[in-house]
Structure 1
């Protein structure tokens, strides 16, 4: 297991964690709201996990569109520099250098298995044209789950040491919660992903309802909703809610001081599915978002619950 790296200056580490917090606040609204309910001593580590994942994901989502070779180099650079940072040689203080400093310190501090991050990088390479792993779409749910293990399930597993959770119920629940969050994103972002030439919801699910790529692209272009598409998305939502149900027992084994933050994320991501359903599954020409007042209400409820638990 790794230890906290030496060779990273304290001032640089402070700056690195601050940068990861900025990334979380800017790009992960739901995630960031939930982290505010965590103890301050744990919050910075959660920001580090998000910061590295966001940084690599941006390389894949933005750079790969115009320059896949540059995206491959970027992902490989982040991967190699993480290992260098773990050895105490983090390199320049650019954006990559900041996120790997924070993550290397977090990995060492909480003794998070490095295999989780290897799986994450492999899944990110599955999103980049030109890599041997590249998969622009998935035929079966089994194939998608292979991708989601590295891109989502391991995120939940990485959080367990940070949240000080050691219960046999926790790992499968954490993996299910990561999968539930990512499936929620896949449903919400079907239209945007089509624009990038990707489709994550498996072809076997679409075809079971008579939907093919041409129909999805037509709905994206015209804004019309075909009943077959609506039925397929309703089934995808049902599968995703099943993942939330698998994850829910894990909430009960979380420490009292941690549970409100994770439950807030659990609730808020579930509300995205509510908004998808409320819109009539119109995710091809728009993006479902949870209203600000709803997010605030969930946060207040969990904050109050957390305050009562802390007073026990």
Structure 2
């Protein structure tokens, strides 16, 4: 199936194909919901999605999963190297890292703006020395580079029936919604890394601070003030999903089932958090495999009908 995707995308050369295959492996391994939704795209569109995800995942792991004893200065040097090597790859110079090889090729094929990658790397650098965000505005700066730019990078892959400029705002909002959902789902894991990705002033409204969150994590339980605070954060996140929803209709019809499925499955994580009475400290809130398969199956049926209707 990987070979068919690469052939459909016109990707040739053993090294380049191997680089894309590696990114596909990263997507399948780490982005289960994202990967499942990507399967609903036509084969020729999938490699670019894998490349963009693979690059983002590779860089994120450099920051979040370093070897024990790695210093902040060493991580900064790694990101500087990534920045330099990305520039070289975009300029046509050979590089060794598969994620860089694939994403540079995708960037050329889609004429992606280098500024989108610069914003992403800026947010990754923020993770090296920023452990919390005082306000929503401060968090928004991080989210722009870590998530909104991914939505903007995806637009030329997915195609639009409107101008790309018109589709950009909801595309960025969808990236934001997915990221805010991740923040809520991963509160416990982020606390273990010493980080909180929720605005401190909004938490304080409910009498919640970092120490209270740490207590919840240590005891694997949630108290009433934290429940109220997380309910408020979920309401804010759902408002972002509402801003993003109109963008689905702006996409090429062939791409809509993929994005609609990702939208549906990711937003259901919020339902799972509520069903667990907001206890994100004991276990990760996930959508069951059965539910993912059902949602993806319905979408796949619609894709098949649409392709048959076009005589494909």
Compute the TM-score of the two structures, normalised by the length of structure 2: 0.92
Aligned CA distance change for structure 1 residues 66 and 263 (closer, same or farther; 3 Å): farther
* Alignment match of 1:74 (pick from 73, 78, 85): 78
Query: What residue in structure 1 maps to residue 95 of structure 2?
Result: 91
**Shift in Å at residue 311 of structure 1?**
3.2
* Alignment match of 2:219 (pick from 207, 213, 222): 222
Query: What residue in structure 1 maps to residue 4 of structure 2?
Result: none
Q: State the distance in 2 between where 1:175 and 1:183 align.
A: 12
Query: What residue in structure 1 maps to residue 47 of structure 2?
Result: 44
Query: What residue in structure 2 maps to residue 25 of structure 1?
Result: 28
**Shift in Å at residue 273 of structure 1?**
0.7
Query: What residue in structure 1 maps to residue 108 of structure 2?
Result: 108
Query: What residue in structure 1 maps to residue 210 of structure 2?
Result: 213
Gaps of at least 5 residues in structure 2 are 1-10
Q: State the distance in 2 between where 1:28 and 1:74 align.
A: 23
Query: What residue in structure 1 maps to residue 157 of structure 2?
Result: 162
Question: Residues 160-194 of structure 1, C-alpha deviation per residue, up to 9 Å, x if partnerless?
Answer: 11112253431000000000000000000011101
Q: Which moved more, 1:211-220 or 1:24-33?
A: 211-220
Query: What residue in structure 2 maps to residue 276 of structure 1?
Result: 273
* Alignment match of 1:152 (pick from 147, 152, 159): 147
Q: State the distance in 2 between where 1:205 and 1:99 align.
A: 37
Query: What residue in structure 2 maps to residue 253 of structure 1?
Result: 250
Q: State the distance in 1 between where 2:144 and 2:205 align.
A: 24
Gaps of at least 5 residues in structure 1 are 1-7, 129-133
**Shift in Å at residue 10 of structure 1?**
1.9
Structure 1 position 174 matched with structure 2 position 188: no
Question: Residues 60-113 of structure 1, C-alpha deviation per residue, up to 9 Å, x if partnerless?
Answer: 101287422222122221221111111221323xxxx10111001000001111
Query: What residue in structure 2 maps to residue 121 of structure 1?
Result: 121
Q: State the distance in 1 between where 2:308 and 2:253 align.
A: 10
Aligned residues of 1:152 and 1:179 also touching (Cα < 8 A): yes
Query: What residue in structure 1 maps to residue 57 of structure 2?
Result: 54
Q: State the distance in 1 between where 2:102 and 2:66 align.
A: 23
Aligned length: 296
Q: Which moved more, 1:81-90 or 1:29-38?
A: 81-90
